[in-house]
Structure 1
Amino acid sequence: MSTYREFFESSVRLGIDPVGSVIASIKSIYQLPAESQNEMKLELIKQSFQYHYMHNALYNKICKEKGVALTDFQCIEDVASIPAIGIGKFKDVNAHLLLTKPIHELEHELRSTGTSGIPSISRRDEQTLTRSVLSIFSMFREMFGFFGGAAVYLAPSAEEMPEMGLVKLINMFSGLLDSNRFFISGHAFDAEAVIHQLKDWQHVHTRHIIGPPFLVERLAAYIEEHQMHIHLDKQTQIITLGGWRSFTGREIDQSKFRERMARIFGVHQGQVRDMFGLVETNFMAIECEHHAKHVPPWVHFSIRNLDKLEQEVTHGEPGRLVVYDPTSLSYPGFILTDDLVYLDPNPCSCGRNGQVVNYMYRIKGAEVGCCAINLEKFMSDREARITQCPIG
């Protein structure tokens, strides 16, 4: 019996959540050799698979149709045979059939809307929500080291858009900071107010900027246009999330973005960092100072051949991302995404072991849509209405 299986079984006997224990040990787990990480992930994913196989009638049916049984997983490579749910299913009218937990045990739901206007809805029960919060806060602490400072949030407040995943995630930074302010209200953005706030916090707080790339770009453009000189702090982080494509299809070059933001805000490029996640999962993959997006060590990424989804690509080759997230009890956290990515075959200079993901773009034919894209579209529509001249 493996050490990790013994740990899992003894934790359950003691009434301790083994997944939560792993999340709380993130710093030491990132230092484990890849082989040990894989052994740990395999056990967590196997236990998660067993739970959903036994308690989710629809998922059990899918597994039996594919000939996948409880005893089929001996190594991390075997995880690729676990059936994954297409991410589009979360927009389906029958999405509730994906649930393993009964409706009355669910506490919260998050939404992300694509260009179709149909929301992707992910629902969470008490324990899944607790694991999700632990997962995100542990990654924030590990990758950013936050416990103080102040942030301007280039996003609506949770009061305005409580169900939007991007807003909920940004709001979670607040528990690690001394002060913060939101700067999107009624889908309007006031760059001058952001500049004023950053100046007010100078010599008082370490100042951070957090928001989707298109809004950080807008702030930077305003500073350039007005020939302002803004120098943020030694520990400043400029953190982006929400994707690098505009609702118009324009692609933001990440390397040029980092270079530009470092120059405009007087920081090093290692202080300009991006995050990647999905509303349907409970994690964030966050860039270290070397711009490597580290997958949380309890989550496994499987990269698939676009033409033969049952096959994994060679390590380092691009393919379609399948996420195996063992933190979800509400529904199987095994998600076939619409994202084209590749895993970096080289170890990261920061010293953390495990998978490092490089996001490329949505696969051809996939719906272009996320919280940030829709926020940009709402703002653009509002600005167009304001600038239109009435006729007659």
Structure 2
Amino acid sequence: MGSTYSDIIMEKPSLRSVGISRAEGLTALDSVIFNREDWDRMDAEEASELRMEAIGEAVRFHSKNCREYEAYCERRNFDPEVPLTKENLSSVPQIPTSVFKARELMSVPKDEIVRCFESSGTMGMKSRIFRDEITLARLSGSLRSSANVWSDLVGDVDIEEDVFVIHLGPSRREAGSVWFGYVMSLIELEADTKHLMKDGNVNIREAIEMATNALTEGKRILVVGAPFLVREFCAQASDRSVRFGSNLYLITGGGWKKQGGKAISQIELAEFARSTLGLDSPKQVRDVFNQVELNSAFIQCCEGRLHAPPWVEVIVRDPFTLEPSASGAPGILTYLDPTARSYPAFIIGEDLGIKEEGPCPCGRHSSSIRVDRRLKVSEHQGCALQLEKQFASVNL
């Protein structure tokens, strides 16, 4: 029997190494994710061609296999069979993330679902996203397959032997259906990782001791967690005389939400970390942007840009009309992510920001996003709410 997508999740993601070819059902997108080591250095033209093909295939698949999405396309007068171009890509129907709080959207039979993930639910209701093996494998591959994504953090050291990860959050088992816990479990496959959150509590002192011991052992240390926990790590380490220099990086994830009534600024956090931990540079604080409805992560480079993987199309829309905004103009950040097979990951998010294009000094050519703030429902979500009502009124 041939290898499955589950096999790919548990090994280095190379289609060639597990003996799977496109003839066995894998697409050009899979070949890039699992077989190409430099996908994050793909030039703009090649990346555009990949998106057109992958998103077109995904739209046709979901319109045929997700009844709600098919009906939604009809209501939006969108024909999935019309070839996608740069000019009509923004016409692909996108789903407000609020819909995932009210409906169970699936494009595969329920017996193919292997995990259901939930959002943090900080605003009340939680999104529920159902993933099959293929969807999970693509997420895994997109986080682990490119040596360049994390290269300037890890340097030339051996990831398995010389990198130590301290996660200020729960293990996969403890996290249950929480999305970020699963993302962290993928990192655990690569490097020695300790999860410190138990029953909702984190022993920051233990984390500091672990980091100090790892430093004496010559390890490269990655401390990963929500911004407010990372800040607490820095605060409690401030009474130590340990200087971590270039041997420690702080990776934030989970959103820059308010803690204790005050928003956390990444710029302020980076400077605070530099001064309290004795870091060589504030660039040693990096962010990873993802949300449960997306099936790809945006990883911040050394220049501070949150780069989209080359297969994800970011569309910035006017918050009042939902028409595409002019290049460089702020608006609602929306996404077309073709890596999700079990559900249509064509979403209208709840963040306001901008899309930055053009080559980055870090060497990447993919677009990046800058998230400014969350939407205020009363001010900006009128059109998105209308789309939500339109989706909810679909007759099946």
| Alignment TM-score, normalising by the size of structure 1 | 0.83
Shift of 1:117: 3.5
Say whether 1:245 aligns with 2:257. yes
Residue of structure 1 equivalent to 2:78? 68
Distance 1:183 1:71 in 2: 49
Match for 1:332 among 303, 324, 344?
344
- Cα offset, 1:121, TM superposition: 0.9
Provide the C-alpha distance between the structure 2 equivalents of 1:28 and 1:184, rounded to a whole number of angstroms. Answer: 34
Is 1:38 paired with 2:52?
no
Hey, what's the Cα distance between the residues in 1 that align with 2:289 and 2:251?
11
SS at match of 1:41: helix
Quote the Cα distance in structure 1 between the aligned partners of 2:126 and 2:257.
Answer: 19
Cα deviation for residue 358 of structure 1 reads: 0.6
SS in 1 for 2:216: coil
Tell me, yes or no, if the aligned pair for 1:135 and 1:282 is still in contact at 8 Å: no
Supply the RMSD in Å over aligned alpha carbons.
1.9
TM-score scaled by length of structure 2: 0.83
Matched, 1:91 2:101: yes
Q: Deviations over 1:5-34 (max 9, x none)?
A: xxxxxx754533322212135553433331
Give the match for residue 176 of structure 2. Answer: 162
Matches within 5 A, 1:316-327: 316-327=328-339
Paired residues of 1:110 and 1:165 also in contact (CA < 8 A): yes
Where 1:59 maps in the other structure, the secondary structure is helix
Q: 2:36 & 2:284 partners in 1: Cα distance? A: 22
Query: SS in structure 2 opposite 1:360?
Result: strand
Give the equivalent residue in structure 2 for 1:375: none
Q: Offset at 1:237?
A: 2.1
The aligned counterpart of 1:350 is: 362
Number of equivalenced pairs = 348
Separation in 2, partners of 1:116, 1:223: 32
Q: Which residue of 1 is the match for residue 28 of structure 2?
A: 18
1:35 to 1:137, Cα distance in 2 relative to 1, 3 A: same
**Counterparts of 2:185 and 2:81 in 1: how far apart (Å)?**
41
User: 1:321 and 1:74 mapped to 2: Cα distance?
Assistant: 20
CA deviations over 1:208-241 (Å, ceiling 9, x no partner): 21111100111111122xx212322534321110
Instruction: Tell me what 1:276 maps to.
Output: 289
* Residues 323, 249 of structure 1: alpha-carbon distance in 2 compared, 3 angstrom cutoff: farther
Q: Secondary structure at the match of 2:299?
A: strand
CA-CA distance at 1:188 after TM superposition: 2.2
Q: How many percent of aligned residue pairs carry the same amino acid?
A: 27
1:13–1:181 Cα change, 3 Å? closer
User: Which residue in the other structure is 2:314 paired with?
Assistant: 301
Mapped contact 2:215–2:247 kept (Cα < 8 A): no
**Relative to structure 1, is the Cα distance of residues 180 and 73 closer, same or farther in structure 2, using a 3 angstrom cutoff?**
same
Distance 1:26 1:89 in 2: 34
CA distance in 2, matches of 1:156, 1:32: 34
TM-aligned CA distance change 1:195 to 1:14, over 3 Å:
closer
Structure 1 runs not aligned, ≥5 long: 1-10, 367-392
